[in-house]
Structure 1
Amino acid sequence: MSDAIDGPLAHVVLKVENISPAAPAVFEDHKEAIKAQLVEDAAADAVFDLYNKIEDERVGGATLDEVATRFSLDVVSVDEATRTGLTRAGQPPANMPSIPGLISEVYEMDIGIETPANDLPDGGYYWVEVTGVTPAEVKPLDDVRAQVIALWKSEQRKVLLDALAQSLVERGNAGESIDALAAEQSRVAQTSQPMLRRFSNDTFSRIGVNSLFGSPEGGFSYALAGFGDSMVVMQVAKIETPEPGNGTAGLDEIHDALSERAGDDLIASLVTALQEKHVVEVNYGLLDQMVGDASGS
């Protein structure tokens, strides 16, 4: 067992579970892996040789179209793309390559300026050239009125839904019954099956379940449900303390759940650290539009 180690997110302790003694490798056992590695290395060398030839041609004044023709390469042309990665009509651009950071890179370039090659995740290279820039313009209100109204309604619905859920929880914790609160909203209160702390489904998210387990018996809480467009108001009907068993049944499940939760905590810590370092704002209107387009709604 190691001493506490100061990691980038938190302190950690390492434990050595097992040590496998070194053993000489047998060629036959690794022949296929060696062959695959040699093929991969040869392919990487060929790609790098082609990269050097392309760069030599570009230094000599050849355009990307000329280079592509000379070496039988494909040129992908994208007619238009805004900073959001969509066209001005709000649709994904045709032929847009799926390359992380491509849009940001394009918007840092000038027309006709040659830029160095960029690396692809699979070990290849790509070049980008901007052939034209369309000045930004504000669409006439009549053209986007319906979209603006829909986005505004979506934002307001989220705000009002959160306020309503919070109000119902406060009234429930003040003594009103969940049946009366549900009837007031033309709903019927439902009773779930008993759930463990690690339970979650489309209705009860992990955040919602954690909120429940942080409430006393009879206490109210609320959380997002579904895809985040609904709220569920919850009341703890009864708290049952499980009886400890003598065997090991369920220990593996508990171990997996704790490991998963520890991983979630580390990710949450990383996200929090990044949010403190980089200011992040979520454009829920654009997100709803993109998700709606992707789902065909």
Structure 2
Amino acid sequence: MLQEMRKYTKSWIANIFLGVLALSFVSWGVGDMVSGRTDTSVAKVGGTVIDRTEFSRDFQNAMKQEGARRGEPTINADEARKLGLGDAVLESKISQTALDNVVKKLGLTVSDAQVVATIQRIPSFSGLTGQFDRRVFLQAIERFGYSEQGFIELMRSDMARAQLSRALEGGFTLPPGYAKYLFAYFFETRAADYIVVEDKALGAIPTPPDATLQTYIKAHADRFSTPEYRDVTYAWLAPSDVMAQIKVTDDQIKQAYTENKGTYVIPEKRDVEQILFSSEAAAKAAYEKASKGTKFEDLTNEKGEKPTAQPALTTADFDAATAKAVFALAKDGITAPQKTPAGGWQIVRVTGITPGVNRTLDQVKEEIRSKLALDGAIAKLTDISNAYTDQSSKGLSLTEAAKAVGMHTGRVQAVDAQGLGPDGKKTAAPDDQEFRELVFRTEAGEEGDPQVTKQNVIYVVSVSGATPPKLKPLDQVREQALAGWTAQERARLLKQKAQQLAAQANKDGSLDGAAKAIGATIQKSPAIPHNFTDDTFGPDVVRAVFQAGPGKAAMGPKAKGGGYVIARVTGIVHPAISEKDPRFLMAARQLGAQAGTSISESYVAEQRDEQKVVYNRKNIDSVQGGEPQ
């Protein structure tokens, strides 16, 4: 069961900070929050307004959070709508607001000192010293659209709601008898006799009439329709088209080499393990042990410390003498004791070697020339793109504007999203997925602006018409439709057969008749706990077995290989329960916490009902329809 109350008592944005940040506030004052509410709202809870601006901020932050989870800066509004992200944010905000209203009614308060003390226990606003850094703090909360005072008030609200949560949930304990009953159920195991109803239990599936196939085709129109085709006029220009116009001088190449020398001249690196000693004698003793076969990782110094790993070190990371010794070794070699600059001693083992790279200017000259030429070509394409826009703004058609600035042009009267024409062959349109996506993003009757692809190709498209998908004639797809319908019908009949056999087993009080009807062998299951699974018993079958009474049959899909399992419960075993059993004590605590959570969930739902929630769908849709900022 989800921790719903905790979700509502703590705002999601505060949860982000509490989970990621730790701060040690020196001390700062907590003043009055200045708010500039407007009369625009997305919802009202008991008369309390949830402002459109506030919802928009939280919605944008939620999109950024989902983007971060995917390794992206954010997701767009379309993706957010498909995920139901905006509605989830709003519903959580409504529940929080309902609890805020209760908090105010009860007079629950949180002092400035408590708020500051709580924030002081969070890590994310610390600087390099580990102490609170005001600049880091302000930058962090600004990214989520909060002022300093706004974030403090956010934390104050969270803490006040948490007081209410603790009062509802705190220390809830189930009666011992009820806890034992639930414990016995959760740790119960069952045994069953079972048969497998396989595809061979069915006979041949008769060929259906054409009307049935036609109905099947209509129900699966996406599989049996022609694709959408688009009539598109386009212009394009690639870097290779202007590369010859770019002149790269030797001086430019030399300068690029100098500026990026770290790319071409890389020193040799070594991964090492090193262990430090206070005295030369201790270092020599350890070195002798290693020489006689003691594993380096098992060595210790006078303090009992073991070697530490140091990856990717260059000669600059050592003093001259140690560098010479370390870089003279092969992999797994160990240096003799070396004096450290600090006055101690060390022995070093080489665990890995990354050879250095030293590519001279002459060796990389043409590589750099090509890169600079490409950079120049991309810059020129940008100029051409801007020139196209200027020509287009004068009223020239796509073709006229493109020719005026030297772009290629073309037209395809019918192309689908895969670049194919009605004949199933490749069209003359550019064989580029990004080009095709651009064509199908552009509305019919519109001309788009110049777009640059990941390959730095500029495209401009104008879609003059679209031919919608159309169902193919039955004769053209008969074989495919018959195969699909037959598979669907076979699956339906097999499930129906299994249901009939399960009913027969329950009527007979035995699997004998059902097994005989399909020529199946009755088998015995292993002990089945709630979380059991194997190639036969998947979650659906196990769930059905635990829902069935003693001696009753249940059915579900076979875990692997297709078919259905009919299982008749033959044994139920409950564990012996001792109130001192650690498993029981842990389960009782968890059950009590879950029961407390259920009470919290019910309380939240009750408050929402009592206070009445009024939605402003126009403003909600307006926020969710905008692009992330």
Structure 1 length as normaliser, TM-score?
A: 0.49
The structure that is strand-richer by fraction is 2
The structure with more radius of gyration:
2
Structure 2 length as normaliser, TM-score?
A: 0.26
The structure that is helix-richer by fraction is 2
Instruction: Answer 1 or 2: higher relative contact order, Cα 8 Å, separation at least 6.
Output: 2
